[in-house]
Structure formats: structure tokens, C-alpha cells
Structure 1
Amino acid sequence: MKAIIITIGDEILLGQILDTNSQYISKQLTRLGAEVIDILSIADDREEICHWVDYAMKRAELVIVTGGLGPTKDDVTKKVLADYFNTRLVMNEEVLKWIEKLLENGGMSMNEANRGQALQPESAKILFNRKGTASGMWFERDGKVLVSLPGVPFEMEDLMMQSVVPGLQHLFPHLQLDYRMLKVYDIPESELAIRLSQWEETLPEGFSLAYLPSPGFVMLRLTAKGKQVYNLDARFDGLKETLEGLHYTEGENGGTERELGELLLMKGRTIATAESCTGGNIAAQLTSIAGASAYFRGSVVAYANDVKERVLGVSREDLEQFGAVSEPVVRQMAEGVRRLIGTDYGVSTSGIAGPTGGTPEKPIGTVWIGVAGPGRTVARKFTFSFTRERNIGKATVKAIELVIEEIRGGNR
């Protein structure tokens, strides 16, 4: 089944918000076995919406539209779709009662704009929105489906999982597709591809392997289609055997940050970060895991030298003699944040992320990382790349890995 996703909103085209809806919807459709052949972002304009909806309906069996369902005059999606499917808008009493209740709970009263949101296309199946005032709509024509969802991400996601995915599974039970994910660390994509080339050549029809490189790791996605779905786990085990000796974690949401969190929980330990070149990215990764409050206590982003000195207690003499990007400084940063916040571990970074600031002695990509624990403080120097984003990403991964090593090291 071919699918097209359309996101509606001037704010997307102006770059004011990121189109995370398309990413989420595409992932869910892929899991169902649908082939997403196009993703479009268009303006809140009647002619534009009508044109691109017609284009999508001619090319795909499934079209999912998000956005343009709000109470303001520029939200015209519902009216355009009603005209496109030759139906009229009628008052839906159930939706109206829900909107009244939602507004009342928020201390607001119903107005005409809100009331207008209860007008729904007569021929559409209404998808009840538990999270907001904009209902979803399910249209069918000539064996094809168009689903219109609100643009607010958490409302859209809830409707996808509660209504759209089950509805598509019921309507298209023949679709089969599944995949498994691995994060492989500390090996370039090209070297990994060479290592896996022989294994990859033996994959039968219905399987595919994709390489998704990021700073510090390469994500591998093994996908199975059709009847091969039932052989996916066996092939996945074979992939892991081929990667023996490399550091990897399973799952698209897994990673070193999750591994560190599990270790800290198991040991009953806590951690804080003192970051310079990573700018809080380590803390962001650690707190991206649900339940991180059990072990993550806080962070100091000490970008300037005077902050390193005043807040973390780094020696001014060492800053002047060795510079901020040095072993003595990251050691003192890690010890300082551990002492300041009162944790079992402190991890620190100081480096030259680029694109400027490098010297022959300390080129761009030079990063020192320190870890202070109950038993000792360690520091290591790394030299990454010339790209700022990659340097920050790699330093983040390496810092988390170094903490993991220290926790597992014993005598602590």
C-alpha cells in the first residue's frame, strides 16, 4: 500500500516549527507495512490544499493530512475536505459536548469559533479527540482512505494510536512489515559496511539492511517484509553474531544513555554534569530517559573560564597555565560538580568544537573528558573531527561511555 503524508501550516514553511508530525506518522505507517512515497508541506490555502489532496489521492491508497483544524479563519482544511468529498458540514452533538466540557475544565467558555469545531463532514467517520478540541476525520472513496488529523503533535499521536492504526490494521490486514534496530558505536560507517558485506549478501529477498550514521554511532535497521517477518528475529540474531566484539545496543531508543541510567539505578548511584564544549548535551541525553530523576541530579554549563573558576572551583593558575582544554581543568570540573551538587559521579567536558579556535597544539575536535567518582578521578583526551555538530555528538557519547567504564571498574 502506497501512502502520502501532507502537513498543512504556514508556520512549517516559514521555519517557525519543525515538522515532527511527518516523522512520527511515517514511522507508524512503515511499521504497518505501508510504503510512504511522498511527504508534502503546504500552506493554509484552499487552492493549495485541494490541489495537493487531489494529487495524493490519485497516487496513493492512503493519504494522511495534519493541520488546519483549529478554530481560526485560517484553518480551512475541514471545509476544503468536505467540498472535495462532496459532503456537507453538520453539527456533531457528541463533539460539541466534549468541547464544552474541555473548555469548562480549563476555566473557559464556549464561543462561536469553538462551536464551529463541532461542525463535521457528514460522510466522514469522526475520530474523537481525547486530548483537544479538533476532531480527526476518516474519508473513504474508491477503496482509498484519507485521514485528517490535528496538527498539535500530542493530539495527532494519540489519534494515530487510538484510532488510525487500529483502523488501518482492520482495513488492510494483509500488510506485513517489521524491523529491528541496533546502535553500533566507535566504528565508521564505511568500515562497518565492509564488515557486514558478506553477511548482507546472504540476505534473502524480503530483507533489507539500512545504515543511519550519527555522531559517535551508526544505527542499523534490519527490515523484513511479507512472510519474511516471521524470520526476522533469527536474521537479527545472525546480525548480532556478525558484530561480535563491537559495542552495540539494541533498539532505536536504546543507547549508552539508557545503559548508564540502568547502571546507576542498579548501583543506587547519582550523577551530575559539568559541561563546556557540549553545552548541556550530556544532561539532555541523560534526562531523555524516563525515570532519570532517580539518578540525575543536575548540571552546570560552564562555558566561560570565570564560571569554571567561580562555580566549579577550577584553579585560575591551571586555567592560565594549561588552558581550559586540558587534563587538570576537566579533572577539577568533574570533582567540582560532584562536590557542588552532591552526587556519586561527576562528568565534565572541555574542548574545541569548532569551526574556529583550533591551534597546532590543540586542533579543532580536541576534547578532554573527566569523570570523578567515589574512588578516583580520571581524564582522557580525544581528537574528533572538524565539524562542530559531530564533535559535540561524539564528545557526548564518549563522556557517557567513560562514566560507564568507571562504574564497572570496581573498587568504587
Structure 2
Amino acid sequence: MSDGPSYGFDTLQIHAGARPDPATGARQTPIYQTTAYVFRDAEHAAALFNLQEVGYIYSRLTNPTVAVLQERIATLEGGVGAVCCSSGHAAQIMALFPLMQPGCNVVASTRLYGGTVTQFSQTIKRFGWSAKFVDFDDLDAVRDAIDDNTRAVFGESIANPGGYITDIRAIADVADAAGVPLIIDNTSATPYLCNPISLGATLVVHSTTKYLTGNGTVTGGCIVDSGQFDWSASDKFPSLSQPEPAYHGLKFAETFGPLAFTFHSIAIGLRDLGMTMNPQAAHYTLMGIETLSLRMERHVENAMTVATWLENDPRVDYVTYAGLESSPYSARIPAVCPKGAGALFTFAVKGGYEACVKLVDSLEIFSHVANLGDTRSLIIHSASTTHRQLTPEQQEAAGAAPNVVRVSIGIENAEDLIADLDQALAKATA
């Protein structure tokens, strides 16, 4: 799209980053299923490898189909650039990679997807990194957790699995005061419901597998760069502020300015970590994003209807959906996600662990899968699956207690979803 008027979200989700194919005039973005690209001449090749010219070298680094997706997500999130990769977990490592060194830590919310807790508490130790888990509702605790070795603060806009709403602006202020970037996982909210960059986030990560694609077909991840952090303000981020030996002493922050993080993630991150998104996955995600706003409106509408019914059912102990007036997080919706509280939440079943297992096994429309953000309604018992590696205390803190199930409400008829839950609850609590 050419520079011009400020287009609305519905227009941008279809057109941002996409142009008719110059060779054929194809209106839909083609799948450029190629590993390499022919250079014009030796001088052109050298300029590309020296980062003196932007272009395509090898599809581990850049690909025209993936490039359209990167521009589209960056536009919707209000960032200056984005880098797509192979999964949401890859996006988290890619986001931390330019920031961290052995001995450094990330301060992370206790309310995170169970796989993220495991990745941060266990796997990143192999890099010499560590994580401190803190209740993000306690701003003093977040401040106290940040030390001289902290290089990032990490949270989720709408936390998985409980659907808790993070006060992004308040956390951003704490991170800013400490001189470290705030990374927000916006997977559960999508840029349609929440814009973390406008609330002070430095980087936004996504599992594009979820709502952005929306049809449960491909895995993918993305990191969006706000372009608003000064990587040279301190000596904490030498990968971005100091000379890079692999590029003859080039300084990313000095050379690329607001796009320093984006270029580093491609030229170093994708080059050496190889967490590449394939072009067919990018194509599926581009098609999914074209209907993002329409789907999210229906997701939110259905979630509110189902959550309200569940809250009034005597077989249910409680419901965590932030859209309910009873939720302690409902007051944050206007500032953080004014178009709705998403479609991800948990509810506690009377009868505990065994009742939850019976419920999951008795449902007919809901699919029992380890995924969220699909057009289909999904359910999982987190304590026995996604969060089973955590301690009981960590499960409680994450909102994945043994008597709790997580639901991702789809876009089916709400009355059918309620009927399915009703018959399954009857069997589970008989």
C-alpha cells in the first residue's frame, strides 16, 4: 500500500504489506516456494551480505511471502518492523536472544502459558540465562525483582490460561524506569483487541499459530519491534549497541536506528538460530488475518455468552473470564483491550480433578486439543497436560489448578456450545 491516508484496521488486515505480483499481476500473495534467489551480479551479492542493501539471499533469512506477513503484522501492531519464525516458542527465544548474555535474567509474570514457564524456568538455563517469576499485579514486587542483570520484563496481554488482563502501562512504566525493554505476548488478544506498543511495550511476540491464523493449520511465531527503545542508552545491550564482528564492526543501533532489533533478528538471529517460518505457513496466516476482526468480534461475543451461563450454573465453582463484572480484571478492559476481553478463560468444576476429566471426555462440539485461538471451540485440562510439568504451587499461580479446565471459545452458535457444556457437566458431576 502506498503512503497516504490512515487506513482502518479492517482495511489493513487485508492490504497491509501486499501488492499485486509484479510478474503476473496475481492479487493474492504468491507462495514463493524457493530456497535461494539469483543475484544481479557480484556487486549486488556483496551488498546484500554486507547489509548495505535490503533484498533476498536465502529463505532461512528472508522470503517474499514471509516478508508480506511481517509487514502486515507490524502494521497492525503499530511497530516499525517484524520478524516471523517457526513457532511462538521460537519467537520468545528470538526476542530474548539479542538482549541476553550468560548471567542475565528476565523478570516474568507468574501468569503465563505453562510451556513458557517451562521454557523460562528450565530450558533457558542452558544458555546461562535465568528467569524470576513475579505476580504482575504487585508492581513493587516487579520493581524489586529487577536487578543489574535484568535485561527484559515479560508478560502476556491476556494471560493464558485464565484470561487475566495485564496492566501493560503500569508494567511498562516500571520497565522504563529500570532501563529495560518490556516484551508482551499478545497471542490471546491479537492486535485487534489490544495494542501493547501504544501502552509502552518495546517488543510484542505472537504465536501466529493461534488467532492470527485462526484455522489450526500451521505453526508460526512473530516478534514485532516498536522501534522506540534506545539500545545505546546503556551498556546492557552490546549485541545491538557495540560493533558486530561478523559484519566488520557494524553497530546495529547506529546503522539501523529504530530498526536495529529487526535487522539484528534477521541478520544474526535467523542466520544462526535458523528458526525460520516456511512460506506456505506464512500464506495460510496471511489468509487468516484477512478475517481477523470479524472472527475476534464473534469470539468475544460467544465468550461473553458462554461465560455468563457458566457463572450462573451451580455445577461450576467460578469462571475467570475478565469480561464478567465479577472479575477483578474487568476494570482494566477499557484501557488494555477496549474491544473485548478475548475468548480464553478457565472455569472450576465442582468435583475436582476427576470431574474435569469426565467433562473433557463427554464433550461433543468442543475439541480436546493442546491449542487455542481456533474457529472451533477447544478445551483442555491444563493440570494434566500443558501445565503438568509445573509444581502444584506454580499451577495455582498460573491459574491451572487441578479442578480447572481451560476453554477457547470458537465462532460456532453460542446456544450449541452451551448445550454441549450442559450435557457434559451433567455427566461429569453426576
User: Do the structures match in fold with TM over 0.5?
Assistant: no
Question: Normalising to structure 2: TM-score of the pair?
Answer: 0.27
- Higher relative contact order, chain-length normalized (CA < 8 Å, sep 6+): 2
Query: Larger radius of gyration, structure 1 or 2?
Result: 1
